[in-house]
């Protein structure tokens, strides 16, 4: 956070293009570190039953920030000036740093396994008590353990890899849509800047339902919710490709379909975040039981990288299709990604367990 504060000051006060570029690079680096470490800390400190709700609040907070930030920042920059925005940014970062200082980490529970030199008469009885609940569905557990994929020398569960894939696709669709949507409505509907901002509000506002979505996912799992959301998004994207006329009915349908797509993407973002967090929590508990380092920071780093890949591919695809193909071709491209992903998601997360063990 201190690096983010310093890079923000450098960005606002720098007068050379090289300083500005360096400041933006440092902002991205520090933001990635804060994001990954924050999610890893949240997962490690939250019980499995509440991970869905917690990740839902994270999604809702992100959506609120995406909506409120540009509105407040733009108004302050226009009416008060450059340094007013700097003061607001520094104030928010200062409060964040203060909250992180006073944050108290929950102490980790001591490992109950055998320690070197430990030999007492009660240990065989304790071992016998622990064997009983573990011995229930042996076939199911063996099946789960064998569903692993090796990537760069690391053994990852297939469900974990599916969430990586889903994050890339969701990020690609989301950021491609965000890049092209405002430009399209400005050119074809002759909407003003405020009206264009309104369409983005319709697209991003469904994120406020994140806590409810997270709670539902914790109970029922991410599989069929993801399949349904991808299918509805694919159908909506194809329909959106044909809504290009400037009449009033088309504009109403356009906003309705955009809102539907926003609901689907917000649903998918929260559901896959919950699924990934649950998988990393399970790996963390298993590692601690085996006496290994159970940190989930590396896993969340990979998840963040998957989102970054989507952020890179999305705007690039938007530029290629919208400028050189057509709006319909762009929507069909995104719809095809969504349709294929619905098939992929139907084969994932066949088992869902939120217990500690």
Per-residue pLDDT tens digits for 2-57: 777 777 777 777 777 888 788 778 877 777 777 777 777 777 777 777 777 888 88
Q: Is 284 domain-assigned?
A: yes
- Residue 163 and residue 81 share a domain: no
**Residue whose C-alpha is closest to residue 278's, from 47, 63, 32:** 47
- Residue 190 and residue 79 share a domain: no
Q: How confident is the model at residue 247 (pLDDT cuts 50, 70, 90)?
A: confident
In sequence order, the 6+-apart residues with CB closer than 8 A to the CB of 41 are: 105
- Residue 337 and residue 246 share a domain: yes
**Which of residues 37, 72, 102 is at a domain's end?**
102
Rounded Cα–Cα distance for residues 180 and 196 (Å): 11
Please give the full DSSP string across 168-222, using - where no structure is assigned. HHHHHHHHHHHHHHHHHHHHHS---HHHHHHHHHHHHGGGGGHHHHHHHHHHH-S
Secondary structure E strands in the chain? 148-151, 154-157
Residue with tokens 């409120």: 68
Query: What domain range is 40 assigned to?
Result: 2-102
Task: For residue 233, give the CATH number of its domain.
Answer: 1.20.1250.20
Q: What is the pLDDT of residue 130?
A: 44
Q: Is 59 domain-assigned?
A: yes
- Residue 317 and residue 172 share a domain: yes
Q: What is the pLDDT of residue 356?
A: 53
Confidence check: pLDDT of 58 > 60: yes
Q: Is 45 domain-assigned?
A: yes
Rounded Cα–Cα distance for residues 94 and 19 (Å): 23
Q: Is 197 domain-assigned?
A: yes
- Residue 254 and residue 325 share a domain: yes
Joined together, the tokens standing for residue 189 give 């509907």
**Which of residues 102, 134, 168 is at a domain's end?**
102
Q: How confident is the model at residue 144 (pLDDT cuts 50, 70, 90)?
A: very low
- Residue 340 and residue 208 share a domain: yes
Q: Residue 290 CB: number of other CB atoms within 10 A? A: 10
As separate numbers, helices (DSSP H) first and strands (DSSP E) second, the chain gives 13, 2
> Lowest mean pLDDT: which of 128-137, 179-188, 197-206, 210-219?
128-137
Rounded Cα–Cα distance for residues 286 and 51 (Å): 17
- Residue 203 and residue 65 share a domain: no
- Residue 333 and residue 203 share a domain: yes
Pair 111, 288: CB distance under 8 Å? yes
Q: What is the pLDDT of residue 235?
A: 95
Q: How confident is the model at residue 141 (pLDDT cuts 50, 70, 90)?
A: very low
> Lowest mean pLDDT: which of 37-51, 117-131, 211-225?
117-131
Q: Is 234 domain-assigned?
A: yes
Residue with tokens 């406020």: 208
- Residue 314 and residue 180 share a domain: yes
Q: Is 56 domain-assigned?
A: yes
Q: How far out from the chain centre does Cα 119 lie?
A: 47
Q: Is 90 domain-assigned?
A: yes
Q: Which of 165-174, 210-219, 348-357 has the highest mean pLDDT?
A: 165-174
Rounded Cα–Cα distance for residues 296 and 283 (Å): 8
Q: What is the pLDDT of residue 173?
A: 92
Q: Is 13 domain-assigned?
A: yes
Joined together, the tokens standing for residue 238 give 């194809």
**Which of residues 84, 102, 120 is at a domain's end?**
102
Joined together, the tokens standing for residue 15 give 């007068």
Query: What is the number of structural domains in the chain?
Result: 2
Output phi, psi for 241, to 5 deg.
Answer: -65, -25
In sequence order, the 6+-apart residues with CB closer than 8 A to the CB of 337 are: 169, 172, 173
Rounded Cα–Cα distance for residues 192 and 190 (Å): 7
- Residue 98 and residue 163 share a domain: no
- Residue 341 and residue 193 share a domain: yes
Sign of the C-alpha dihedral, residues 185, 69, 225, 155?
positive
- Residue 52 and residue 197 share a domain: no
Longest Cα separation, the chain: 83
Q: What's the rounded mean pLDDT across residues 282-291?
A: 70
Q: How confident is the model at residue 148 (pLDDT cuts 50, 70, 90)?
A: low
Q: How far out from the chain centre does Cα 150 lie?
A: 23
Q: Residue 318 CB: number of other CB atoms within 10 A? A: 23
């Amino acid at each position: 956070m201190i690096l983010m504060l310093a890079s923000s000051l450098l960005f606002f006060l720098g007068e050379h293009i090289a300083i500005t570029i360096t400041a933006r690079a440092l902002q991205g680096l520090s933001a990635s570190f804060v994001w990954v470490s924050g999610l890893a800390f949240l997962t490690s400190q939250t019980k499995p039953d509440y991970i869905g709700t917690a990740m839902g609040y994270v999604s809702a907070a992100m959506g609120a920030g995406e909506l409120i930030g540009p509105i407040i920042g733009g108004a302050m920059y226009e009416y008060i000036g450059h340094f007013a925005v700097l003061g607001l940014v520094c104030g928010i970062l200062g409060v964040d740093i203060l909250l992180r200082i006073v944050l108290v980490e929950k102490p980790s529970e001591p490992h109950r396994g055998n320690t070197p030199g430990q030999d007492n008469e009660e240990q065989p009885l304790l071992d016998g008590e622990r064997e009983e609940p573990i011995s229930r569905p042996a076939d199911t557990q063996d099946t789960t353990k064998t569903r692993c994929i090796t990537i760069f020398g690391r053994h990852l569960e297939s469900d974990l890899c599916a969430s990586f894939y889903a994050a890339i696709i969701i990020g690609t669709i989301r950021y491609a849509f965000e890049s092209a949507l405002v430009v399209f409505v400005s050119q074809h509907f002759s909407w003003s800047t405020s009206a264009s901002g309104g369409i983005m509000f319709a697209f991003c506002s469904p994120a406020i339902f994140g806590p409810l979505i997270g709670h539902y996912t914790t109970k029922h799992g991410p599989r069929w919710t993801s399949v349904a959301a991808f299918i509805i998004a694919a159908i909506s994207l194809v329909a959106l490709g044909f809504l290009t006329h400037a009449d009033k009915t088309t504009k109403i349908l356009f906003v309705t379909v955009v809102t539907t797509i926003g609901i689907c993407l917000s649903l998918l973002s929260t559901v896959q975040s919950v699924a990934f967090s649950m998988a990393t929590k399970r790996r963390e508990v298993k590692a601690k039981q085996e006496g290994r380092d159970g940190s989930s920071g590396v896993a969340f780093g990979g998840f963040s990288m998957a989102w970054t890949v989507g952020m890179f591919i999305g705007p690039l695809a938007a530029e290629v299709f919208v400028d050189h193909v057509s709006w319909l071709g762009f929507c069909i491209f995104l719809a095809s990604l969504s349709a294929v992903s619905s098939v992929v998601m139907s084969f994932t997360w066949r088992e869902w367990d939120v217990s500690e063990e």
